[in-house]
Amino acid sequence: MSRWLLLLALATLPGCGQRQSALHPAADHAATLMSLFQLMLWVCGIAYLLVILFLGWSLVRRRAVAETGETGVRAMLGIWIGLILFGLVILAVGSFLADRTLGAASQKALRVRVTGHQWWWRIEYEAGRGRWIETANELHLPMGLPVTLELRAADVIHSFWVPNLAGKMDMIPGRINSMTVTPGKTGWFRGQCAEFCGTQHANMALVAKVERPGEFTRWLAHQAEPVAGEAAGRAIVEKGSCAVCHQIRGTGAQGRVGPDLTHLASRRTIAAGAAPLTRGSLRGWIIQPQAIKPGTSMPPSDLSPQDADAVARYLEALR
């Protein structure tokens, strides 16, 4: 018996993770949805209990029910209809209020563009005077300050979903969907694309890091800086095909097809969470990205093993 209980406990444990959970809100947006969820749970839970109690009562007290006659049944029906309407009104008012709270925009919010690509995220921070600071796959946010996320898509429909911070919102080509989020807790939170977008949809993860405003400002200022890096690796990247698709600000690589690699090594993973950022995985990715993410639009390279090594070493130093 206790062995079965232990197994059951183990089976339910994975569901208790808090890094990607709508049940552990870390921002106002997710907290509003959580309150709405709780309201619905209570209203529906009570309605369910009442129905079951009434059913039980009428089974046990069959005779009493039969003796109430037609007027009695009518009265009971009236009470039930009243209760149902009351419950529905509570749910309607609750969702209306939650929707209004979620829709409220903030004028002084920082603007961040997040664009869904097959199968990664382009992220750009407003830096004033029409300038944007670009990075990818790792979203940094300041705690306690409102951020307006402008969600776009480059190819097909994606859906932005970091459950600890906010509910899902579709990213649709040719449209901008916005939401304003104010994070309330620091930490790492995991997100993922929530709308099937092709073969590597499951490998389209996003990490959000909420940090103190000072730390965030330092991070953003650092991301804005160009880099050069060590010359041998840089020359291979600039001369090779990489520069056609990737941008490394401060070098000759100015491509805009794939993720910005300027501060690649400040991130924890590559290719939207498909592999950890290590020398080995970088090398593997450069030589044969299809082995890590079959279907990805990055082609395999024709670099010699030595050159691939040099490029991996170069990229690993772009902090």
* Residues found near Cu ion in the complex (CB under 5 A): 158, 193, 197, 201, 204
Torsion sign across C-alpha atoms 211, 216, 218, 219: positive
Shortest CB 217 distance to ligand HEC, Å: 22
Pick one of Cu ion, ligand HEC, none as the site partner of residue 299 (Cβ within 5 to 8 A by kind).
ligand HEC
Shortest CB 288 distance to ligand HEC, Å: 11
Shortest CB 275 distance to ligand HEC, Å: 9
Q: Give residues in contact with ligand HEC (CB under 6 A).
A: 119-120, 136-137, 200, 237, 240-242, 244-246, 257-259, 261, 264, 270-272, 282, 285-286, 293, 296-299, 301, 303, 311, 315
Pick one of ligand HEC, Cu ion, none as the site partner of residue 140 (Cβ within 5 to 8 A by kind).
none
Shortest CB 293 distance to ligand HEC, Å: 5
Which CB, 151 or 242, lies closer to ligand HEC? 242
Pick one of Cu ion, ligand HEC, none as the site partner of residue 105 (Cβ within 5 to 8 A by kind).
none
Going by their DSSP bridges, the two strands 147-153 and 110-117 should be labelled as parallel
Please give the Cα distance from 34 to 103 (Å, whole number): 16
Shortest CB 295 distance to ligand HEC, Å: 8
- What is the DSSP secondary-structure string of 137-170? SEEEEETTS-EEEEEEESSS-EEE--TTT---EE
Pick one of Cu ion, ligand HEC, none as the site partner of residue 296 (Cβ within 5 to 8 A by kind).
ligand HEC
Pick one of Cu ion, ligand HEC, none as the site partner of residue 293 (Cβ within 5 to 8 A by kind).
ligand HEC
Give the 3-state secondary structure of 273-289: CCEECCHHHHHHHHHCH
Shortest CB 184 distance to Cu ion, Å: 27
Pick one of Cu ion, ligand HEC, none as the site partner of residue 133 (Cβ within 5 to 8 A by kind).
none
Which CB, 41 or 317, lies closer to ligand HEC? 317
Which CB, 36 or 253, lies closer to ligand HEC? 253
Which CB, 162 or 242, lies closer to ligand HEC? 242
Going by their DSSP bridges, the two strands 177-181 and 132-136 should be labelled as unpaired
Which CB, 110 or 272, lies closer to Cu ion? 272
Please give the Cα distance from 27 to 103 (Å, whole number): 15
Shortest CB 236 distance to ligand HEC, Å: 8
Amino acid, res. 156: V
Which CB, 140 or 158, lies closer to Cu ion? 158
Pick one of Cu ion, ligand HEC, none as the site partner of residue 197 (Cβ within 5 to 8 A by kind).
Cu ion
CA 198 to chain centre: 17
What does the block give as tokens for 6? 């232990």
Q: CA dist 182 to 3, 86, 143, 190, 226, Å?
A: 44, 33, 7, 17, 29
